[in-house]
Every structure is written in C-alpha cells, then in structure tokens.
A and B are shown apart, each in its own frame.
Chain A
Amino acid sequence: MTDSTMAAGERGARRRGDASIPFQYAVFMTTGALVLAPFVPIAYQAILNAPIHDSGAVMSLVNFENLLGSARFWHALANALLFGLGTTLVAQAIGVASAVLVGRTDMPGARWLGDLLIWPLFISHLVLALGWYTIYGPSGYVTQWMVSLIGFAPWNLYSISGMAVVAGVAQAPLAYLYCLAAVNAADPALEDAARGAGARSWTVLRKITVPLLRPAILYGLVINFVIGIEMLSIPLIFGRAAKIETFSTYLYDQALSRAVPDYGLVAAASLVMLTVVVALLVLQYRLVGHAKRFVTVGGKATKPKRFELGSLRWVFCILTLVYVCLAIVLPMGGLLLRSVTEILTPLIPFWEVMSWNHYRILGEHPVFISSIYNTVIIASVGGAIGTALILAITLVSHRSSFRWARELDYLAQIPRALPGIFGGLAFLYLVLSIPPIGWLRNTIWILVLAYTVRYIPAGVGAIAPSLQQIGADLDSSARSVGAGWLTTCRAILLPLLRPAVFSCFALLFILYLKEYVTAVFLVAPGSEVIGTTLLQFWENGDNGPVAALATIQILITVVFVYLARKGLGVKIYG
C-alpha cells in the first residue's frame, strides 16, 4: 500500500438505503400493539352492560356490582388464595431443600437427581395432574392398593390441601432453580469465614447458607403464589368433583360451561384477577428488585466447599430419589401404563389387560390427530416466529440507539403480569370486537399470537443475558468500519448469539407445547391443541384416550429435550 493508493481510497461504504430506523420503529409498534391491544377490549367489556359485539351495549358498572355482590365469587377468591398459599408452601419447602442438597452438599448422584427434579417444568400442569389422578386419585392405582392394605385411603386429593400438594410438586422446580442460582452464586468466603470462626457444617448451613438465599426464596415465593392463584388445571381436575371452586375455575365455568356466557361478568372478574396479580408483582418488585431475574453464575476460581453430610448422605440421596419416584416418575409411568391397559387397578395384573385400544381410538378420531398436529405446528412454527420477534425486541431494546429503546424494554415486560387465563380471554374479546380479524378465531394463529405475547418476557430473559455478555466494542467497531445497525446485527451479533437464540427457541417450543390455559378460550373446531382436547375428553370421562394423548405429549417433550440438548447443545432451564 503506497501513499498514492491510500490517497485514492474511495469514500465510505456503499449503502442501499439503510432500513435500520424503519425496522426499529416496526419492532416497537408491533410489540406495542401485541402487548397493549388485548387490554383494551376486555377492559371496555367490563364496563358494558351487554356483550361487546352487541350494538345496544351501554357503559355501566353493573358487571362489577354483580361480581362483588356474588357470594360465589368471594368464595372462589378465598379458595384461590388458600390454594395459592398451600401451593407456595409446598413448592418452596421442596425447592429450597432440594436446591441446598443438590447445590451445596456431597449427596451422591446430585447431578442427575438435579436433572430429574426439574422435569415437572417441561410437562404441563394438566398432564402432571392427570398422572397424579391416575396414581393417587380416589380410584388411583396406589390409592386402591393402600385401601386393600389398610382398609381406607390415607389421602384425599379432592381437597384444597390435596390440590396444593400436587400444585406444589408442579411448581417446586421453579423454587429450586431460583435457589440453585443463588446457591451457586454465593460467595464461598462467607461460609469459610463462619467455619474459621468455629461453626460446624450444620450451623453454617443453617446460619449462613440458607439465610443468604432469602432474596431467591422470596422471589420464588411471590411467583409461585401468583401461579397458584391463576392455576386452572389442578383445581379443574380435583376441585370440581369436590365442589371446590377457585378463581380460575370460576372464570372457566362462567365463560365456557354456560350456554350463553356472561361476557361482562367474566371481563370484570378477569380484571380483578389482573389487579391481584399486578399488586403481587409490584410487591415482589419492591421486596427484591428486578435484577434478580438476571442472576448469572459467574465462573469462580474457587469452587465452594460442599457440605459433608457424613453417613446421612445416602439417607438424603434415597429420600430425594423416593420423592422423585413418587412425585414425578410414578405419575408419569402411571399415565403410560394407563394408556396401554383397558383398566388400571392393583386388583388385576396389568399385563392381562394390556391393549393398544386407546391409541387406536386416537387414530380414528380426527380431533386427536389434529390436536397433535396443531400443537406441534404451533410449538415449532410459532416458536420460530416468537423467537424471531423476541430476538428483534431484544436487539432493539438492548443494543440500539433507538429513541424508545427503554420503553420497548418495559413494553416487553408487561406480559409478565398477564395471567394465562386473562391473556386467553383478552384475545377472545379482541377478535370478538374487531370483526375484520374475526377469521383468526378459527385458526391456530390466534393461539400463536396469544402464546407469543404471553412468553415474550421469558424469551427476552433467555437472550438478554447472552447479549449483555457480548462486548459493546464489537458492534461499535462494526459501525466504525461502515456497517449500519441492521448489518451489524446480522453479521456480528446474530452469529455470536446463535446458542442463545437456539435456547430461546427450545424454551418457547416447550412452553408452547404444554400451554393450554391461554388456549381454552380461543380454540375452535379445527384449531384444537393437545391440552384443550385432554380437558374436553377428561370431562367426558374418557380416561384411556386421555392417558394415551398425554403420553404422546410427554414423548414429544422427551424427544425434543433430548434432541435439543444433544443436537443443538441447548440449555433449557439451567
């Protein structure tokens, strides 16, 4: 290179009209519309005295008067709070204990026990509840076995405490993961200091390690309480028979089980639910702050010393194993067994009643086939669409000089406050109130839309931490050599983010696969998904085909998780 060629250098990169700014605005507007639009019709419906699509409707507070004047509503609210409380206690106790055992002690087999402990996260509450019903329900396999052994059933799942145990088991992995992150991030020097001061292992554990988990415990506490309050499947499966109604089954009943739903009342009730959830999340934000969501486990030079359990290590190992077997493996195995037997009871050896009949029924009914097909399409195609949108949101909100970047980040967090049942109803009112988009109502795309809005925060949470790990100089240097913002994202950030994008897709796939709460109000003939079909046939008492369908959902999940981990090297949940 000589001075003369240097001087003859051409000026600047050739650009074909940079689309960065229009792109950023498009992402902002799309997100805003998706996140905010569902609120409008449902809020409006709540203050109308007739259905929103009725031209004679006028504004009034009659819905709230009816709702607050109804003893049934107050009863459902009280049950929901009680159920939520029980769920939280069970989930936190199991979650904290297992996190400490797996993360901080020398319990044998901690690694693979830890992998088993999070499995309920991959499976929908509905399937888990069906599994528990099959094993521990009034006519469940183990229950009957106990009855034949001691003459009576020692437990009753058809009660608030029984339901809370099932829901607690379902939610324990969440508490476990929050605490595990905190356990791993804890500074070992604090424990070493306590040892240095003369404390024995047990004292250190009780006085130092667990108290340090307090923020994580508190965080999981509020989240699990919120989830407990809005949970639909478990109260539906166990509560209805015992005439125990919670908030979500009340909403479900009002919206779906009546010939003519009281749209106004349902809208008002969902707004009350939204208010309760938002209040709880605000409380949590005040208590813990937002930063906890991004607890990152940094590489530390010194691994914290694990507590030595001594001769108790095998006792704890066996206890954990027994828990995993009883709470997770047995119910899942029960579903599998139920799906291949005519009847499942300890009174008849199951190999004498084995048959593929239930699977044959699945094959013969188009609704089953289309549910499976729809679910897989929604999870894969919808998951890919969701990942693309979430990637765009994260890049604009975290990595651009877009003037509304912060506002975009806030917008993307709003669905965190949206209970699934509320989201479903909100989208229902949305398509009801805007006739031109009414056609969406009968397709799976309304589900893709509603699921995507619901899981934007989860997806952002999967991508943002990885994005923050990529030094800002890497984009700045691309800009300085002549690349526009979009080109920088495509050529520099996207390749570096590839693992995070895969993780986001895998997470969305699992979430979309198991989602059903949002769907119950939105499905129409032809757009059924596995979860809604399970509910529908369970209500008809077709337990065999239900078990077969649930088994298929579990199999899809297992195969996908295995492939995602081996094939894409993806991490889903820790």
Chain B
Amino acid sequence: MADLIVDGLGRDFGMFRAVAEIGFEARDGEFVTLLGPSGCGKSTTLWMIAGLDRPTRGRIAIGDEVVADAGSGRFVAAEDRDFGLVFQTYALWPHMTVRQNLDFPLKLRGLRRAERQTRIEEALSLVELAEQIDKYPFQLSGGQQQRVALARTLVYRPRLLLLDEPLSNLDAKLRERSRVWLKDLQQQLGVTTLYVTHDQTEALAMSDRILVMRDGVIVQNGTPQEVYRSPADSFVADFIGSSNFLTGTADRNDAEGDGVVVAEGVRLAVPLPGTAEHGDSVTAAFRPERARLLGQNEAPSYGTVPLDATVLSRSYLGARYQLVVESAGLTFRIEVEAPPEGERARVAIPADAWMVFPAGSTPMAKRGDA
C-alpha cells in the first residue's frame, strides 16, 4: 500500500475549468471523501485519478510511481494503474454471472484457476453474497448489485479504492446500513479509499478526512469534526449541515464586548475572530439546532442575549420541530425539541454557536439533497 499524492491537478473542457488546481494526499489506509455539490469537479477529479480522463495540468502519484503528469506528458492508462473503481451505476457486465464478473479481472492477471476460485469466494463472502455466485446481475436487487460491484473491485486487491457515489441509487434505509457496513469493511481491509459524494451525511459518517470542493477547488480539507464545527467559509457552513446567515458590520466595543450590527439599531452579541477589524463587513452564521428556546423567566447562559421572536411557521420533522421565527426584522430557522405554546418565543443563541466569515462569501449553492 502507498500514499496517493495529487499535486496541482486540473482539467479544462474547452474554456470551462472543471477542476482548477487541486492538491491533497491520502495516506495509506485512510478514508478520504471528496464532497461537494454537483458540478464542483469531484467526479472529474476521481475520473482523472482512475485514469479514465487525462489531466490538463498537475500530477498524480501513488507512492513514488507517477501515474499522470501533464508536464511530462506521462499518462498511465486506467488498465495499467491497478486501482479499483466502483461506479454509481455499478457497471456490472450484464452478460456475465456474478462469478464471471469477478473472474474477469483475475483472468486478466493470469491467476491460476484454483487461486481465482478462492479469491472469488473470499470476496463474495466479504460482501455477504456467497449464495448469489451464479446469478446474473439483473436477478439481484440494487443493494446486492452494489455489493457485487464492490466485490469485483476488491477481488484483485487494488492499490487504491475509488468510489463514485456508490450508495446514491439505494433507498434511504439501505443507504444508512450500507454506510456502516462499507466503513467497517474498509477498516478491516485497510485499503486507501477515495470516496466521492454530494451527501454530507455520508461524508461525515464515513470519512477520516473530508475535502470540500466547490467550483473546481478544494475549499476545506479537514476531519469531519473540523469541517462541521469550524467551516472554512460560509459555503462550507451552509453545505455541511445548514446555517442561518446574517450580514452586518463587526463592532468591537469595550463596553458591550464583541458584536455584529445587522441592521439599524440591531446589534447581536457575537464573538469576533481575530481577523475581523472593527467596521468590517462580515457574515455571522449559526446552525438552527444550536438555538435554544428559553422559558418566560429563564436566564440565558453567560454572554448570551435572548431575542424576543415571533413564530412565523412550524414544521414537524419527526424527532424535532423546525421553526421559522422573526425577530427585530430578521428571519431565521431554528430547530427545537418542543415548540412554544403560542406565537411568542424567547430565542437564545449561545456565544460558541456563532461562526463569523468575511462578507461577500455568502453561499451560492444550497445544500445538496441530503
């Protein structure tokens, strides 16, 4: 096993820059996810790493073997990279049984019959499909097909496992189970994995590290906890989880402490990062689930000023309620376990719930269909 090193990688289609210039490393055994909305360049990146697309610039190496280098013109074809790619469509060969699908890559590697037999059985029991060995793909359910596709890739023990939204064609319940199962399998095998998805929940649940992509660049590279708790910009804050955004002016004030003036005469107590100067235009954000409702006489925690709000609408999400509330001319979403009795509510946003970004970086894309 070896590390994957991507350096200055880019791909243009005519005038369109699908991937501008990205660089990252995936260490041996690591589970790395490329996460972003559709059209962000994540699949193009995966395709280039797989060898199915030729980079316009930059290089890709596995260990010390360079498999693509636009500068020198070096390009190792997909079939010579010995990587494993699992397709969103599974791409099982419909005219071959499960056994034949798995046997094909092994035959290409010139393995003996007995060895191939053992490997196929191992790989199928790994994905819990040993009984389906002589079925054709069309006789299997979507979930089973997806596992066969994975087994077909694992059976030849690739240097690198590449997964292109492998769970997106499964129904919600199955997707949830497959997440746990896939992550366990990856840890068990210790294979370096690059996972592409637009589903933030998948990314958060499975990854060792997440690379958030937007418009062909990586906007944040961090652990799931990091990208969720400290998003690099308002786009990440909105794309991973969801956030309320308020634009205003930074106000450093010795008497009242840090704050953001969001409207004429409306000042919210918001801790400012060191980079924000007094008078800067900023975007202040908080996640709906971090807001709390206070009882009539309940005191807020230290440093938090409660807002008196009117409830505009409420929707029941099952475990929680989502409320749209209005306070001092500002409208935002909050999520609470129990809704207030009437129209009025006291909303508290804890000081550590605030995220502040430079203004002008308001999110363009809304979150994907999680």
Is B21 on the interface with A (CB-CB < 8 A)? Answer: no
Q: Is A1 an interface residue (CB 8 A)?
A: yes
| Structural contact, A473 and B89, CB atoms closer than 8 A | yes
Whether a CB of chain B sits under 8 angstroms from the CB of A484 is yes
Q: Return the contact of B82 from the options A1, A12, A492 (Cβ within 8 A).
A: A12
- How far, in angstroms, from A13 to B106 measured CA to CA in the complex? 8
* Closest Cβ–Cβ distance, residue A73 to chain B (whole Å): 50
1/0 contact trace for A1-15 toward B, CB 8 Å? 101011101111111
B130 close to chain A: CB less than 8 A = no
Tell me if A's interface is mostly helix, strand, loop or mixed. Answer: helix
Enumerate B171-207 residues with CB–CB distance to A below 8 Å: 188-191
Q: Looking at the complex, which one of A5, A14, A496 makes contact with B109 (CB distance below 8 Å)?
A: A14
B159-A473 in contact (CB<8A)? no
Chain A residues whose C-beta falls within 8 Å of the C-beta of B91 in the assembled complex: 471, 473-474, 476-477
Report the separation of the CA atoms of residues A15 and B83 in the bound assembly, to the nearest whole angstrom. 16
Complex CA–CA separation, A477 to B93 (angstroms)? 9
Within 8 A of B (CB), among A1-38: 1, 3, 5-7, 9-15
Contact between chains at A14 and B157 (CB < 8 Å):
no
Q: Is the CB of B140 closer than 8 A to any CB of chain A?
A: no
Nearest chain B residue, comparing its CB with the CB of A9:
B157
Is B340 located at the chain interface by the 8 A CB criterion?
no
Q: A residues within 8 A CB of B157?
A: 1, 5-6, 9
User: A401 — nearest CB in chain B belongs to which residue?
Assistant: B54
Of the residues B1, B89, B109, contact of A12 by C-beta under 8 Å: B109
When chains A and B are docked, how far (Å) is the Cα of A54 from the Cα of B79? Answer: 55
Number of residues from B at the complex interface, CB < 8 A = 42
Asked whether, in the complex, the Cβ of B1 is within 8 Å of the Cβ of A481, the reply is no
Residues of A within 8 A of B108 (CB): 13-14, 481-483, 487
* Contact status A13-B93, CB under 8 Å: no
**Are B156 and A6 in contact, with the CB atoms below 8 A?**
no
Cβ contact within 8 Å between B93 and A3: no
User: Which of A1, A487, A492 makes the CB contact (< 8 A) with B154?
Assistant: A1
Query: Which interface residue of B80, B89, B108, B110 has the most chain A CB atoms within 10 A?
Result: B108
- A9 and B89 alpha carbons, distance in the complex (Å): 27
A480 touches B191 (CB 8 A): no
Whether the pair A479, B79 counts as a contact (CB closer than 8 A) is yes
B188 contacts across to A, CB distance below 8 A: 3
Determine the chain A residues whose CB is within 8 A of the CB of B70 once the complex forms: none
Within the complex, which residue of A1, A7, A9, A487 is in contact with B126, where a contact is CB–CB below 8 Å? A1
Residue of B nearest to A476 (CB): B52
Whether the Cβ atoms of A1 and B189 lie closer than 8 Å is yes
CA A483 to CA B108, docked complex, whole Å: 7
Contact yes or no, B123 A1, CB < 8 A = yes
Once the chains are docked, how many angstroms separate the CA of A1 from the CA of B157?
9
Interface membership of A478, Cβ < 8 A: yes
Q: Are A481 and B191 in contact (CB under 8 A)?
A: no
Partner of B190, one of A3, A473, A492, A496: A3
Q: Is B222 an interface residue (CB 8 A)?
A: no
Interface: B112 (CB within 8 A): no
Q: A40 CA to B208 CA in the complex, in Å?
A: 66
* Residue in contact with B52 in the complex, picked from A6, A7, A479, CB distance below 8 Å: A479
The answer, yes or no, to whether A495 is at the interface (CB within 8 Å) is yes
Docked Cα-Cα span, A495 to B95, in Å, equals: 7
Closest to A10 in B: B109
Alpha-carbon separation in the docked complex, A247 to B333 (Å): 81
Contact across chains for B110 and A483 when beta carbons are under 8 A apart: no
Given A13-B108, A492-B93, A495-B95, A479-B82 contact (CB < 8 Å): no
A12 to B160, CA, bound (A): 12
In the complex, what residues of A have CB within 8 A of residue B95's CB? 495-496
Say whether B105 contacts A482, CB under 8 Å.
yes
**A residues in contact with B145, CB < 8 Å:** none
Closest to B125 in A: A1
**B214, CB-defined interface residue at 8 Å:** no
A484 neighbours in B (Cβ, 8 Å) = 77, 79
A440: CB under 8 A from chain B?
no
A1–B80 CB distance below 8 A: no
Taking a contact as CB atoms under 8 Å apart, the answer to whether A478 and B93 are in contact is yes
Give a binary string over B68-102; 1 marks a CB under 8 Å from any A CB, 0 the rest.
00000000011111111101010111110000000
Residues on A with C-beta less than 8 A from B93 are: 474, 477-478, 492, 496
List residues of chain A with CB within 8 A of the CB of B77. 479, 484
Q: Which listed residue (B82, B85, B89, B189) contacts A6, Cβ 8 A?
A: B189
Q: Does B152 interact with chain A (Cβ within 8 Å)? A: yes
B51 within 8 A of A: yes
Residues of B within 8 A of A10 (CB): 109
Q: Are A9 and B156 neighbours in the complex by a CB distance under 8 Å?
A: yes
Q: Are A483 and B190 in contact (CB-based, < 8 A)?
A: no
Q: How far is the CB of B68 from chain A (nearest CB, A)?
A: 14
Question: In the assembly, what is the distance between CA of A10 and CA of B157, in Å?
Answer: 8
Instruction: Give Cα distance in the complex from A477 to B153, angstroms.
Output: 9
Cα A480 to Cα B81 in complex, Å, equals 8
A491 contacts partner chain B, Cβ-Cβ < 8 Å: yes
Cβ-defined partner of B152 (8 Å) among A12, A476, A479, A481: A481
CA distance A482 to B80 in the complex (A): 6
A530-551 vs B, Cβ < 8 Å mask (1 yes, 0 no):
0000000000000000000000
What residues on B are CB-neighbors of A1 within 8 Å? 119, 122-123, 126, 154, 157, 189
B325 → chain A, closest Cβ, in Å? 45
Complex contact B109–A480 (CB within 8 A):
no
Of all chain B residues, which has the CB nearest A471?
B89
Residues of B near A482 (CB, < 8 A) are 79-80, 82, 105, 108-109, 156
A390 to B: closest C-beta gap in Å: 21
**8 Å CB contacts to B: which residues of A454-509?**
471, 473-474, 476-484, 487, 491-492, 495-496
Q: What B residues does A15 contact at CB under 8 A?
A: 79-80
Given contacts A479-B51, A482-B82, 9 further A-B contacts (CB under 8 A): A1-B189, A11-B82, A471-B89, A474-B94, A477-B87, A480-B81, A481-B108, A483-B104, A483-B108
Query: What are 27 A-B residue pairs whose CB atoms fall within 8 Å in the complex?
Result: A1-B122, A1-B123, A1-B126, A1-B154, A3-B188, A7-B190, A9-B158, A9-B159, A12-B109, A13-B79, A13-B80, A14-B109, A471-B89, A474-B91, A474-B93, A476-B87, A476-B91, A478-B104, A479-B52, A479-B77, A480-B162, A481-B84, A481-B104, A482-B82, A482-B108, A483-B79, A483-B105
By Cβ-Cβ distance, the 6 closest A-B pairs, closest first, are A9-B157, A477-B91, A473-B91, A481-B105, A13-B108, A480-B85
